[in-house]
Amino acid sequence: MPRSQGSGAPIASPAAAAVFTTVLTRGPASRVDVCRLTGLSSAAVTKAARPLIEAGYLRELAPTGRTAPGAGRPASPLAIAPEREYFVGIKITGDDLIGVVTDLGSRIVTSRHRPVPGFDVRTDASTTSMEPADVVAAIAALTTELLDEHPGFRERTHRLGVAISGDVDRGTGTVRYSPFLGWRDVPLAALLDEATGLTTTLENDVKALAVAEHWFGEGVGTSSFALVTVGTGIGSAFVVNGGLVSGAFGVSGEIGHVPIGVDGPRCHCGATGCLEAVASTQALLTEARRATGVDDLTIDQAVDLARSGDQVLRKVFAIAGRAIGLGLAVVANLLGPERLVVSGEGLDAYDLFEESIREAFSAQAYGSAGRCGLTIRPLPFEEWARGAATVAVQCMVSASG
């Protein structure tokens, strides 16, 4: 399938990128506000905004209020034109593909789910290896379904964002290692470019979610922001000085593989004592089965029994919660973020974790690092797919500039 040839926003300079990003994430905003937020002069903002207005990516809203006598005409705030371009975002989990179409402002306008090839929904287990070619074909089919839902989607959609757990090289579009899919060195972006005809951006799923939260969620307006996710895996992503920390080799924020105990259990990565080996959903379930002697215990049953007062299982959750709290304190102590957001599917049982998480965090956070507080923000997987679409928006801005 030929690659989409959409031109994207006419962003020809760092100043234009700064103006567009500011209006996108903080708008509607007056030119005065854009000047203040970007540090650009009024003339520079006007020059940068003009081609974006002419191309339909920005619009001037009706003037608001009146200016002082002699101060000129009332200000006309700048705002994005959300329907100018659409983006597809796909989140890949171990058993599901979650796809969304977002507008330019990353508002989800439609979404769909599709099972990952090789996953048997009857047994809730992977019955065959998930071959990259099969997953690529499923993503291409899901993308087609999404774009066919509205006549304007296909014409105005040129970019696809894909979020996946593991070690991802965004620059080359390669999945270097994804333990939950069993993939190594898969050139996924190139395969999807060919299969969908869209320009594909591949990113680690936690980093993608952090980009969406920084631009449109809890992290708006912060220069230092951290996101930690708890569930099948435990990950984190950091924003420092307004930019996502990607790491020299594309790996950063792997809080799940920070050791929180010298003699802890062995992790799937090969190390011992990793946070993920203690407090991920699978690690917690393994310990719950060991503690109760019930080999077929499910995580839902463990949660229900703990909530009903089973002291053995309550202790299992408390130990995992303490480990998570220590991991959060590591993030606070090293980064000193303005905000620390905790999300992920593991938060479904947060009531069983909360006390031990907060106690461990308070005890281990050093001095004023603990002042960032903890924001608990459960997010459905559609929001992770939105994160993938947001990364595609971000790439449009950087590629144009």
Whole-number CA gyration radius for the chain:
23
Mean pLDDT over residues 229-246, rounded?
Answer: 89
pLDDT, tens digit (0-9, with 9 covering 90-100), for 366-384: 999 888 878 888 888 899 9
What residues does CATH 1.10.10.10 cover in the chain? 14-83
- pLDDT band of residue 4 (cuts 50, 70, 90) is very low
Place of tokens 């924020």: 253
Q: CATH number of the domain at 14-83, please?
A: 1.10.10.10
* pLDDT above 80: residue 323: yes
* Mean confidence (pLDDT) of the chain: 88
- Taking phi first (over 0 means left), then psi (-120 to 50 degrees means alpha), and beta for anything else, what does residue 221 get? left
Percent composition of the chain: helix, strand, coil (DSSP 3-state, to 5): 45, 20, 35
- pLDDT band of residue 160 (cuts 50, 70, 90) is very high
Of the candidates 224, 104, 202, the residue with the CA atom closest to the CA atom of residue 157: 104
The CATH class of 85-210+382-400 is: alpha beta
pTM, 2 dp: 0.87
What residues does CATH 3.30.420.40 cover in the chain? 85-210+382-400, 221-376
CATH architecture of 221-376: 2-Layer Sandwich (3.30)
pLDDT of residue 283: 92
pLDDT, tens digit (0-9, with 9 covering 90-100), for 98-122: 999 999 999 999 999 998 876 543 3
pLDDT of residue 272: 86
- pLDDT band of residue 66 (cuts 50, 70, 90) is low
pLDDT, tens digit (0-9, with 9 covering 90-100), for 305-322: 999 999 999 999 999 999
- pLDDT band of residue 267 (cuts 50, 70, 90) is confident
Instruction: Identify the top-confidence range among 56-70, 109-123, 127-141, 175-189.
Output: 175-189
φ/ψ of 354, rounded to 5, equals: -50, -50
